[in-house]
Amino acid sequence: MMDDFMIRAALAGIGVAFAAAPLGCFVVWRRMAYFGDATAHAAILGVALSLAFSMSIFVGTVVVALLMALVVSILSGRGYAMDTLLGVLAHSAIAFGLVAVSFLSGVRIDLMAYLFGDILAVSQDDLAVIWGGAVLVVALIGWRWSALLTSTLNEDLAYASRINPKREQLALTFALAITVAVAIKVVGVLLIAAMLIIPAAAARPLSRTPEGMALMAGLIGVVSAIIGLRAAYVFDTPAGPSIVCIAALTFLVTSVFKAVRPQR
C-alpha cells in the first residue's frame, strides 16, 4: 500500500498535468516556449515578494507573472526583438528574486525546492491550491477554446470572426501564470516549461485534431507523473526531474514513431 505522501504527490502531479496539457498545446502551436520559460523564471521573484510581505506564494507568483506579461506586451512593439526582450526579463527576474531571497531575515527557504520542485512535501492545502488552479485553467481554456484556436491559426481570420487576438492572448497569459503558480511546488521553476512543452510535443505525432492533441498531452503528462514518481521512489532520484525525464523519453518514442511511420 502506498504511503500518504506518495498519494498526495501522485495527485499533485496529475493536477499539474491536467492544467498543463491544453495550455501546453497552445504554447507549442504559438511557438511561445520561451515566453513560458520566462514566466516560470519570474516566479522566483514572486516567491521572494510573497515571503517578504507574508502573503500566499500562489498570489505572489501569479501577480509577478502577469506583470511580466504586461511589460512584454508594452515593450514588444518598441524596437525590441521578442526573444531578446524575454531573455532580459527572464534572467533579470530570477536574478532579482534570488538576491531578494538573500535579504529575507528570519525566513528559512529551501531554494532547491522552488528551483526543482519538492513534490514529496506536498500537503493537503497544496493539493487544494493545485487542483483549484488546474480546474480554473481548464475551465478558462475550454471556455475560450474556439476563439483561442482561431486566433492561433490566423489573426486575420480571427478579426473577420469578430475575435480580438490580443484578448485571447491575455486569457492565455492568465492561464499560464496560474499554471506556473500551481506547478512550482511540483516540478520547480526550472522545469515548469518542460511540463508545458514536452507532453504537448510528444502528443503531436499521435494526434489528428487539436482536441485529440490536448487529450493525448494530458494522458502523457499524467503517465509521466506517475511513472516518474515511481522511478524516483525506486532509484532514489529527484522526483521533479524524474517526471520530466519520463516525459522526455516519451517524446523520443513518439518522434521515432513519426519518423518510421509511412507517410500518407
Query: Does pLDDT of 108 surpass 70?
Result: no
Please give the average per-residue pLDDT across 60-65, as a whole number. Answer: 85
> What per-residue confidence (pLDDT) applies to 223?
95
The CA distance from 146 to 260, in Å, is: 33
Q: Poorest-confidence range of 19-23, 26-30, 68-72, 76-80?
A: 76-80
C-alpha cell of residue 57:
506564494
Tell me: the pLDDT tens digits for 139-196? 999 999 999 999 988 888 888 888 998 888 888 888 888 898 888 888 888 788 899 9
Three-state DSSP state, 41: helix
> What per-residue confidence (pLDDT) applies to 106?
67
Please give the average per-residue pLDDT across 10-18, as a whole number. Answer: 92
Q: How many CB atoms lie within 10 A of CB 118?
A: 21
Question: Exposed, middle or buried by CB within 10 Å (0-12, 13-18, 19+), for 130?
Answer: buried
Percentage of the chain beyond pLDDT 70 is 94
Query: Does pLDDT of 27 surpass 70?
Result: yes
Query: Does pLDDT of 10 surpass 70?
Result: yes
Distances (CA, A) of 28 to 155, 179, 260: 17, 15, 23
Q: How confident is the model at residue 260 (pLDDT cuts 50, 70, 90)?
A: confident
Query: Does pLDDT of 72 surpass 60?
Result: yes
> What per-residue confidence (pLDDT) applies to 78?
66
Question: Exposed, middle or buried by CB within 10 Å (0-12, 13-18, 19+), for 134?
Answer: buried
Sequence-separated (6 or more) residues with CB below 8 Å from residue 250: 198, 199, 202, 220, 223, 224
CB 93 within 8 A of CB 64: yes
DSSP string, 105-162: TT----HHHHHH--GGG--HHHHHHHHHHHHHHHHHHHHTHHHHHHHHH-HHHHHHTT
Query: Does pLDDT of 2 surpass 70?
Result: no
Q: What's the chain's average pLDDT?
A: 86
> What per-residue confidence (pLDDT) applies to 188?
85
> What per-residue confidence (pLDDT) applies to 1?
46
DSSP string, 218-231: HHHHHHHHHHHHHH
CB 16 within 8 A of CB 134: yes
Percentage of the chain beyond pLDDT 90 is 34
CB 13 within 8 A of CB 186: yes
> What per-residue confidence (pLDDT) applies to 93?
83
Please give the average per-residue pLDDT across 207-220, as a whole number. Answer: 94
Q: Which domains does the chain have, with CATH numbers?
A: 4-190 (1.10.3470.10)
Query: Does pLDDT of 94 surpass 60?
Result: yes
- Closest by CA to 138, choosing from 10, 237, 14, is 14
> What per-residue confidence (pLDDT) applies to 76?
65
- Report H helices in the chain: 4-29, 33-52, 57-75, 82-102, 111-116, 124-143, 145-153, 155-160, 165-183, 189-203, 210-235, 239-260
